Amino acid sequence: MTEKNIKTIYNKLVFLLMILLNNVGYAQNIHFSNVYVTHLTLNPANIGNFIGDMRVVGLYRAQGTNISKPYSTFYTSFEKPFFPFGEQIDFGIYYSYDNSAGNTLPAHYLYLSLAKKLKLSQSLSFSTGIQLGYNRRMFDGTNETFPDQYNRDLGSFDPHLPTSELFEMSTSSSFSAGVGFLAIKTFNGKNASIGYSMQNINRPNDTFFNIEYKTNIRNVFHLKVDYTFADHFFALPALVLIMQGKAKQSLLGTNIGYDLKETSELDNIMAGVFVRNGILNDVESLIFAFGFSYHKWRFFTSYDYDISGLKKSYSNSNGFEFGLVYILPSSSIRNIIHPSERF
Q: How far apart, in whole angstroms, are the C-alpha atoms of residue 319 and residue 312?
A: 13
Q: Which helix (H) or strand (E) holds 8?
A: helix 3-28
Q: How far apart, in whole angstroms, are the C-alpha atoms of residue 103 and residue 97?
A: 12
| Cα distance from N-terminal residue to C-terminal residue, the chain | 59
Residue-level pLDDT, tens digit, the chain, 343 residues: 554 454 454 455 555 555 444 444 444 345 788 888 999 999 999 998 888 899 999 999 988 655 556 678 899 999 999 999 888 999 999 999 987 655 677 889 999 999 999 999 989 999 999 999 999 988 766 666 656 556 666 666 666 666 655 555 678 889 999 999 999 999 887 899 999 999 999 999 877 667 777 889 999 999 999 998 888 899 999 999 999 888 888 999 999 999 998 788 899 999 999 998 867 677 888 999 999 999 899 999 999 988 876 554 444 468 899 999 999 987 765 544 444 566 6
Phi-psi label, residue 103: left if phi above 0, alpha if psi -120 to 50, beta otherwise: left
Considering the entire predicted model, what is its pTM? 0.81
